[in-house]
């Protein structure tokens, strides 16, 4: 039997662990000794018996103490740990920055009337605290159809975001990219600005970002290289269901400061589903759209549908 923060946890063989509000229980008894903490801070160990008038009798080695249910703030078995100690340790752990790593691979092959090959690799490293996050990423995409490459892209970058209040924060980010199919020899995108946290709870987060940046693009074609300051807008949304199904949405919009008709929009939405009993392996199913208003290639919009196996570790 565990009592913590006004809830009684009963471990049963027929229904697992039952949770009952303490104020709905008049008294309880135990055959084996348990630890009892009272509202005064006194902690005793011994069997608990129900007495008349809704009273409880705690039989310790130092004698018998009579009290009532309302004065009991915590109870736990001798083989368990003090729930207050467990809670304080969890709160301290939540305030500590931790590195988290993820690696994902999506692979597709097809033979027959047509030959197709697709490979996608993404690596992520994040140092996350309660109010800030440092992130690195690297990704590679290659696709072929009937021996002809339809995608050949390599990208990497870093970002840092810190909130100085419940709502407002600041961010800085930088990315490098090369794309042979879109005739991009090198594209460098940097941005910095203000973050606005609209939603922040255990199940859902929503952050918008706005700032200034700089973009440089070197083309592997007759198109002239571009270099200009930019505006930098972004949106990041996550939602987690009770069964650990996780939805993530990311959107960035970067127009040229000199010509608003010259812009780039990147959107990525994915659903992550755990594989097995742990949370180390997940499958992510998603779609990524990249729209460039003035591209060197023929198409302005690139759309990628992917199914990725992800492994996470700390």
Question: Of 263, 254, 175, nearest to 209 (Cα)?
Answer: 254
CA separation for the pair 58, 47 (Å, rounded)? 6
pLDDT of residue 151: 87
Listed in sequence order, the residues at least 6 apart from 89 whose beta carbon sits closer than 8 Å to its beta carbon are none
Q: Which domains does the chain have, with CATH numbers?
A: 2-94 (2.30.30.100), 97-313 (2.40.230.20)
pLDDT for res 187? 95
Q: What rounded mean pLDDT belongs to the chain? A: 90
Instruction: Give CA angle at 196 (190, 201), nearest 5°.
Output: 120
159, 172 contact by CB (below 8 A): yes
Query: How much is the pLDDT for 133?
Result: 96
Low-confidence stretches of the chain (pLDDT beneath 70): 112-114
Which residues have CB under 8 Å from 276's CB, separation 6+?
none
Q: What is the structure's pLDDT at 5?
A: 84
Q: For CA atoms 210, 102, 206, 160, give the dihedral sign.
A: negative
């Amino acid at each position: 039997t565990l009592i913590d923060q006004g809830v009684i946890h009963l471990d049963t063989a027929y229904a697992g662990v039952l949770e009952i509000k303490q104020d709905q229980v008049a008294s309880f008894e135990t055959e084996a000794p348990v630890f009892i903490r009272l509202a005064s801070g006194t902690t005793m160990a011994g069997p608990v018996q129900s007495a008349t008038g809704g009273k409880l009798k705690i039989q310790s080695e130092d004698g018998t103490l009579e009290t009532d249910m309302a004065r009991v703030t915590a109870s736990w078995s001798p083989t368990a740990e003090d729930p207050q100690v467990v809670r304080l340790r969890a709160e301290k752990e939540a305030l500590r920055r931790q590195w988290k790593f993820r690696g994902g691979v999506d692979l597709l092959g097809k033979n027959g009337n047509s030959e197709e090959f697709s490979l996608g690799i993404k690596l992520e490293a994040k140092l996350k605290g309660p109010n800030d996050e440092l992130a690195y990423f690297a990704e590679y995409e290659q696709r072929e159809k009937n021996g002809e490459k339809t995608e050949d892209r390599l990208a990497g970058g870093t970002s840092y975001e810190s909130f100085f209040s419940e709502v407002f924060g600041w961010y800085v980010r930088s990315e490098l990219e090369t794309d042979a199919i879109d005739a991009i020899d090198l594209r460098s995108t940097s941005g910095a600005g203000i973050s606005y946290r609209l939603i922040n709870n255990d199940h859902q987060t929503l952050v918008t970002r706005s700032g200034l940046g700089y973009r440089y693009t070197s083309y592997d074609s007759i198109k002239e290289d571009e270099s200009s300051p930019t505006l930098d807008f972004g949106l990041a949304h996550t939602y987690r269901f009770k069964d650990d199904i996780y939805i993530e949405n990311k959107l960035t919009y970067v127009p040229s400061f000199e010509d608003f008709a010259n812009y780039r929009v990147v959107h990525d939405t994915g659903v992550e589903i755990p594989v097995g009993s742990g949370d180390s392996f997940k499958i992510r199913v998603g779609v990524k759209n990249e729209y460039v208003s003035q591209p060197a290639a023929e198409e302005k919009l690139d759309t990628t549908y992917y199914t990725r196996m992800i492994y996470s570790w700390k």
